[in-house]
Structure 1
Amino acid sequence: MTPAKWVATLGGAGLIRPAPGTWGSAVVLPLALLGPLPCLVLAGAVTVAGFWAGPRVLTAEEDPGWFVADEGAGMLLVLAALPHPSWLGVILGFVIFRALDIAKPWPVSWADAQAGTLGVMLDDILAGAIGAALLLAIGRFFPGILA
């Protein structure tokens, strides 16, 4: 496997069937134990790596299922919104992120319609940012629920 394909599949997680996007999101969940700042830094690193890998592995195929670096980056953004990692917070963040990634509400749908690596990466980054905002709102309006 080339380095670009390794990055794009998050070390092979994107090759797991069924539902490679779910596996790509799930593979980063243990990183919640590192805390918010490391998750944010890792989200940035995975985003940069995904933008690097995209042009090297993507062809005419639109957002192939095995390309899951975008799911990893988006999920890490959601995990960065958890002040203290808890099972409930991680599971809730995972469900919110996957729902946004699958349903693609605006502006996620707009980002998904963009061509090339930009569209592949940006829709999940926006889904992650929206998911993080929702988790922060839940924590604000229901103090202690994510602890």
Structure 2
Amino acid sequence: MNSQPRPIPPESPASGLLDRAALALATLGPVGRMPLAPGTWGSAVALVLAPWVFSPLPLAWRLGVLALILVAGTWAAGRAGRLLGREDPGCIVVDELLGQWTAFAPFHLSTGLGGWAFSWTGAMPWELLALFGLFRLFDIIKPWPIRAVEKSVPGGLGVMLDDLVAGLFAAALFLLIRLFV
């Protein structure tokens, strides 16, 4: 998949403020335009931001943030896809933010002088990397029902939902690993 969007000429409809905002949100600014594997870059940004921006929130707030990202990302991904002439170009990475943070949602990360820790699982940074890897694995290989969601739901919602489901799978598998390891 070509991760680079086609250029948008200044006289195009994308010159409007809402179109520029949709493109900026859908690509997480410059992140979606990173060379090689923009989805992994989007997930990496989510990983780096989570301990400071997302995980310190109470669970109810984290769920609210995920809902907000789902709604705003659906709008941005749909509009950006139309502007770029492809439904799900690789440069759209807001879905990786949603999926990665969905994988982190059941856990409470904190930052401090002592480093990162989960409040109720005692997870260490390697576990953050495990969640990162699990999400990327599910997002790339797309086992059922992730592939089915991607194929059956059109537009921006489909772009977002397959990563949401991949994040749920990653969190569930991680919880099973934690239970038995």
Q: TM-score, normalised by structure 1?
A: 0.86
Hey, what does 2:103 align to over in structure 1?
Answer: 78
Which blocks of at least 5 consecutive residues in structure 1 are unaligned?
143-147
Larger C-alpha radius of gyration, 1 or 2?
A: 2
Hey, what does 1:127 align to over in structure 2?
Answer: 166
Relative distance call for 1:41 and 1:136 in structure 2 (3 A) is farther
Q: How many residues end up aligned between the 2 structures?
A: 142
Hey, what does 1:46 align to over in structure 2?
Answer: 69
Q: Is 1:15 matched up with 2:40?
A: no
115-124 or 19-28, which moves further after superposition? 115-124
> Which of 39, 44, 62 is the equivalent residue of 1:26?
44
* Identical pairs, percent: 42
What SS does the aligned partner of 2:89 have?
coil
C-alpha root-mean-square deviation of aligned residues, in Å? 1.9
Hey, what does 1:97 align to over in structure 2?
Answer: 135
90-99 or 7-16, which moves further after superposition? 7-16
Relative distance call for 1:122 and 1:130 in structure 2 (3 A) is same
What is the rounded CA distance, in whole Å, between the counterparts of 1:55 and 1:103 in structure 2? 23
Could you list the runs of 4 or more consecutive aligned residues of structure 1 that deviate by over 4 angstroms after TM superposition?
Answer: none
Contact 1:81 1:133 in 2 (8 A): no
Which blocks of at least 5 consecutive residues in structure 2 are unaligned?
1-18, 109-117
Relative distance call for 1:17 and 1:40 in structure 2 (3 A) is farther
Shift of 1:116: 1.5
